[in-house]
Amino acid sequence: MVFLFFRKFNPSQIKIRCGEHNLADEEEERISYQERALKSISIHPLYIDGENDPKLYNDVAIVHTEEAFDLTTGNVNTICLPDSVNQDNFSENDCHTMGWGTFNDTEPVTNIQNYMKQVILNRVDNEECGTILKEREETTNNFVLHSSFICAGRGGLDKDGNPNDVCKGDGGGPLVCQQQGDPEKYVTL
């Protein structure tokens, strides 16, 4: 829903913040966040916009800022894009996602957490993911998962023995996986 979000605003109304960890108290941050003005947005050229029925295919954008971020602070850095979008290029067992979402389904998304959380998840094959989604009550029988989607889930267990998963409101957030054959390189998907 990247484009659906961004098209609601004029670029001059949007600020990009990097390095934020604690949303509750700016005084408690070990290293200050950085904020930059938005210059422009590049939407994926194959994004399919369904005004009344958004398909969200290729739902990704690159934001360009007026000023570069300082990468020497220790809490802001870059991540590589993959060499190829072939799913065989990414680890199945070493993917990370993060966000400030809520812990349970009954909380409104507006009750986000103060601290960013991270969870390690396994990447799920697109075909298997489509099958899993079809089994859900809210999914119709003719549902077909588009090939531009990458799924992750079935992580390990948390300290209480519950399966790891993203928090409510974090779905569609950044997914970072180890690139196959290079244990030192992680890419964003």
Percent of the chain having pLDDT more than 70? 72
Residue 68 CA, chain-centre distance (Å), reads 21
Report the DSSP beta bridge partners of residue 106. none
Tell whether the model's pLDDT for residue 4 goes beyond 60.
no
| pLDDT at residue 9 in the model | 76
Across all residues in the chain, what is the average pLDDT? 77
Query: Which of the residue ranges 13-17, 115-119, 157-161 would you say has the lowest mean pLDDT?
Result: 157-161
Residue with tokens 């948390």: 158
Residues whose CB is less than 8 angstroms from the CB of residue 107 and which lie 6 or more positions away in sequence, other chains included? 168
Residue 178 has which token pair?
């180890």
pLDDT of residue 66: 94
Residue 138, amino acid: E
143-152: average pLDDT: 81
Average pLDDT over residues 43-51: 75
Answer yes or no: are the C-beta atoms of 185 and 80 closer than 8 Å: yes
pLDDT at 162 over 80: no
Please count the residues of the chain. Answer: 189
Residue 1: the pLDDT is 46
Predicted confidence (pLDDT) at residue 114 exceeds the cutoff of 70: yes
